[in-house]
Amino acid sequence: MKVFLIVAVILLFTVVMCRKDEKPPEPKSTIEIEEENELKTAVAGAMTIKKNLKDPDSMKLSKVFITEPHGAVCYEYRARNSFGGMGMAKAAIAAGRDAMLTSEQKGFTALWNKECAGKYYREVTETVTRALAQMNK
C-alpha cells in the first residue's frame, strides 16, 4: 500500500511538472481572426460555385484572392459547359456579404469592378484548392 501511494505521488508530481513547461496558446489577434473568417468565406464560396455547375468535378480554380483591406473574395475558374468545352468564368463575394454573383448574373460586372478589379489582394488559390480536395475525400 505504501509503495502504491509513493508511486502515485511521484506520478502526480511528474505530470504537474511537465505541465508547468507547457505554455497556453497565445490568443489570436483581431487580424488573424479576420483572415481566418475571410478564408472560410473563400472556401464556402468555392463550394457554392462547384455545387452549382453542370459538371462540378470539372471545376479548376485559376485564381482566388481576397482584396485588401476590404475583404471581398474574388474567383477566376474554368469548368465544363453544356457543349462539353471548358469555359472561363468569374465570381465575387462583396466584402461583408454572403451573397455571391457569378459572371453570368446581372450586376456582376459592376460588383467585380468595384470589389476586385485593380485592388491589392492576398492570393489564396492553393489554400482553397487544398480545402476543397480535403472535403471531397
Q: Which of 130, 112, 101, 124 is nearest to 38 (CA)?
A: 124
Instruction: Reduce the secondary structure of 44-63 to three states and give it as a string.
Output: HHHHHHHHCCCCHHHCEEEE
pTM beyond 0.85: the answer is no
Query: 32 or 131: whose pLDDT is higher?
Result: 131
What percent of the chain shows pLDDT beyond 90? 55
Q: Which residues pair with 79 in a beta bridge?
A: 87
Q: Which residues pair with 74 in a beta bridge?
A: 65, 92
- For residue 24, CA distances in Å to 20, 21, 74, 89, 122 come to 10, 10, 36, 45, 30
Each residue of 42-97: pLDDT tens digit? 999 999 999 999 999 999 999 999 998 888 999 999 999 888 889 999 999 998 77
Work out whether the CA dihedral 51, 57, 61, 65 comes out positive or negative. positive
